[in-house]
Each structure stands twice: as C-alpha cells, then as structure tokens.
C-alpha cells in the first residue's frame, strides 16, 4: 500500500516510557470465536487481566475489509485541500494532527463519524462503511454475549442489548499514521527490550482509554499500537491484519464494578510505513443509565461509581484531554 500524502506540520511529542520491569506478561490473549465454550471464560480472564484481547475466526469477510481499506487509502491519498473540505472534526469529519477539542496533538490524520452520518460524498465508500459497521456490530454483540455468559449473568443479552439497540451510539474512525522519519525505531517506546537511553519517538495517538463500552479495531500490517499494563510497562501489540483487537472501555469497567479494566493504549508512529486503522466504538443509547450490574454484585459489595447516563459521561469526555482519567470523576469518594 502506498500512501503519498504527508502531514505537513509535525506535532512531535517525544516521550519516554515510564518503567520497563515487565512481569507476568505472557502475550496478548487470543480468543477463537468459533469455539464459544472456551471463548466465554477466556474473554472474562482477558478483560480482568488486561482489558484487551485479539479475536480470530470473527466472521467479517476479508474482501469487505480490504475494499474498505482501499477506499480509506484513496481518501488519505487525496490532496490536502481536497481533504480539508471535510474539516474541522467538530467532533465529526476529517481531522489532522489535532485530536479532540482541548489541545491534544498527534502524528495522525483521520475521518471520524457516526454510523448514520458519513461525511464523504461517495456511494461506494459510504455503503462499504455501512456494511462494515453492521458486520462489526454483530461481532461486538456476540462478544458481549459471551462476556455475559462467562460472567454467569442473566439475561444473556444484558450487555449486548446496548449495542443491538437501534439508538446505540456508534462512532467509526479511520486513522492514517504517515511514516514519521523523526521516530527512532530503536527507542524503548518501539521496542520494550531495549534501554531507554536514546528513546525519541513520535506519538501518533497519545495514551488514553476509550469512553464507550467496547472498541473493535483492525489495522494494516504496520505495528505501533501499544497497551499499558498494570505493572507500569507499555507493550507493543504484534500486528495482525487478519484479526481484530478488542478494548474494554470505560463503561464496561463501571458495569462490572471494576472487575474489567478499561485498557490504556496509544499508537506510536512508524519511521517507514503508513499505518491505516479502522475502529468501531460501541456506545449505548445516550439516555442509558450506567451503573454496576446488580446481577454481578456480591451481597455486601458496594458500587464504586455514582450512576450516570452515557450522555453525561460523553459530555464530560469531550471536555477532557486525551490522557485524563475520566472515570475518576464518577468514582464514589
Ligand atoms: C477516544 C476514543 C475515540 O477515538 C473518540 C475520541 C475523541 C475524539 O477523537 O474526538 C476524544 C477521545 C476519544 C477521548 C477524550 C476526548 C474525546 C478526543 C479527546 C481528547 C472518538 C472518543 O469517543 O473519545
């Protein structure tokens, strides 16, 4: 894949890793969706341990994915003034370098939109997005059902109903991280086994947690995605363009009263290769009340959070910076 467009101004954010004493990490959990009996328990373990896992045998047609990626690449290959017609992302549309509304920057350009409001005037592109979002929503519902089964909570659709609802608040994002020659591939950010002595790396998308319930991501064969482990290390996720990567988001952490972890993650720009990713963010209907699930609470267990609607949480999210801990604002003190 060739992407010729370059982001003009380089908002380099060079950062260093916090620690590098990796412990007990045995790799990203891989869940085979064609084996639901095993999958349900493995999903629960992965959500508790990392808030992150990879799925295989997911049922999304490779042709659909490659056609959508082709459209995305064509879009990002357009001249800057053509892409700028879809600016600014307020919060939806085309964005470049700036992330959100509060001063975050990254070495990235993107298209951000809701499933019902695709800004690009191309029938092919918009019908591929529609079809893709439908397929990925199906996968998301399946995963949420397996989660409920693994957690032994009833009814089976207690989580998935929020995604299958026609008012589910779905956001879809296409990201393009152009190669960044200032990124040092030897740096500790890109390779966790080396010392941090000369780490200078460009952040494509800064560290954050996703506010929704679940995020379902897929990218081309360029690496750069990293997750934060509880022991304070960042680990690079080996790329696999045939699989999907699932994040537990903030709302699932609340609904499981902290059993599942909303995974902190970031993307580091590659020095040589473009990275193109597509991410489905599954949120519930705006008026859905969010609190720990009764069926999961032990008799004397107390809720860690004050109840809120997704609308309240989302509104608060858009007032924050990317790296902020948004959940802490809803913690009971
Ligand atoms: C992170 C997850 C999704 O990409 C997103 C992002 C949103 C944006 O890019 O506009 C936010 C970010 C995300 C969380 C904090 C706020 C809002 C940028 C930002 C600084 C679309 C979302 O829903 O929240």
- What is the percent of the chain with per-residue pLDDT over 70, rounded to a whole number? 87
Answer whether 210 contacts ligand 1 (Cβ < 6 A).
yes
**Range in 27-36, 156-165, 177-186 the model is least confident about:** 177-186
* Residues 267/205, Cβ–Cβ less than 8 Å: yes
Helix (H) or strand (E) segment spanning residue 144: helix 123-151
| Nearest ligand 1 atom to alpha carbon 326 | 15
**Cα angle at 43 between 300 and 159, to 5 degrees?**
60
Average pLDDT of the segment spanning 297-302: 95
pLDDT given for residue 62 in this prediction: 98
For residue 330 the two structure tokens come to 């809803």
- Candidates 260, 246, 219, 215; CA nearest to 29 is 246
Distance 328 CA to ligand 1 centre (A): 17
**How far apart (Å, rounded) are the C-alpha atoms in residues 268 and 107?**
9
**How far apart (Å, rounded) are the C-alpha atoms in residues 159 and 143?**
10
Crossing angle of the two packed helices 123-151 and 36-49, in degrees rounded to 10: 90
Distance 152 CA to ligand 1 centre (A): 32
pLDDT given for residue 89 in this prediction: 81
- Whether 275 is catalytic is yes
**How far apart (Å, rounded) are the C-alpha atoms in residues 112 and 106?**
15
- What is the percent of the chain with per-residue pLDDT over 90, rounded to a whole number? 80
* Confidence grade of residue 241 (pLDDT, cut at 50, 70, 90): very high
Helix (H) or strand (E) segment spanning residue 148: helix 123-151
Answer whether 320 contacts ligand 1 (Cβ < 6 A).
yes
Find all residues with CB under 8 Å of 65, minimum gap 6, and list them.
132, 218, 278
Answer whether 171 contacts ligand 1 (Cβ < 6 A).
yes
pLDDT given for residue 296 in this prediction: 96
**Range in 9-13, 65-69, 96-100, 241-245 the model is least confident about:** 9-13
More confident residue, 189 or 207: 207
Answer whether 102 contacts ligand 1 (Cβ < 6 A).
yes
Distance 100 CA to ligand 1 centre (A): 6
């Amino acid at each position: 894949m060739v992407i010729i467009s370059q982001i003009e101004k380089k908002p380099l954010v060079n950062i260093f890793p916090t620690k590098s004493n990796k412990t007990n990490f045995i790799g990203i959990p891989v869940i085979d969706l064609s084996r639901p009996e095993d999958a349900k328990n493995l999903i629960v373990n992965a959500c508790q341990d990392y808030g992150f896992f990879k799925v295989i045998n997911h049922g999304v047609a490779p042709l659909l994915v490659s056609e959508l990626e082709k459209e995305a690449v064509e879009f990002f290959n357009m001249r800057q003034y053509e892409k700028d017609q879809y600016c600014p992302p307020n919060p939806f549309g085309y964005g470049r370098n700036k992330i959100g509304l509060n001063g975050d920057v990254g070495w990235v350009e993107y298209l951000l939109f809701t499933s019902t409001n695709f800004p690009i005037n191309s029938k092919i592109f918009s019908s591929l997005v529609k079809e893709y979002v439908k397929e990925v929503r199906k996968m998301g519902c399946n995963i949420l059902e397996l989660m409920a089964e693994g957690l032994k909570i009833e009814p089976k659709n207690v989580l998935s109903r929020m995604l299958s609802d026609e008012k589910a608040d779905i956001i879809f994002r296409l990201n393009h991280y152009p190669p960044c020659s200032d990124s040092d591939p030897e740096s500790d950010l890109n390779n966790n086994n080396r010392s941090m002595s000369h780490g200078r790396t460009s952040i494509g998308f800064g560290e954050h947690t996703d506010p929704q319930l679940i995020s379902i991501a897929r990218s081309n064969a360029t690496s750069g995605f990293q997750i934060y482990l509880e022991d304070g290390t960042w680990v690079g996720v080996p790329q696999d363009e045939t699989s999907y990567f699932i994040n537990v988001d903030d709302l699932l952490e609340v609904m499981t009263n902290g059993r599942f972890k909303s995974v902190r993650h970031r993307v580091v720009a590659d020095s040589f290769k473009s990275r193109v990713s597509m991410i489905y963010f599954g949120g519930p209907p705006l008026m859905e009340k969010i609190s720990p699930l009764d069926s999961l609470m032990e008799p004397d267990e107390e809720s860690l959070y004050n109840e809120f609607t997704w609308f309240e949480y989302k509104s608060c999210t858009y007032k924050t910076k990317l790296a902020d801990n948004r959940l802490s604002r809803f913690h009971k003190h």
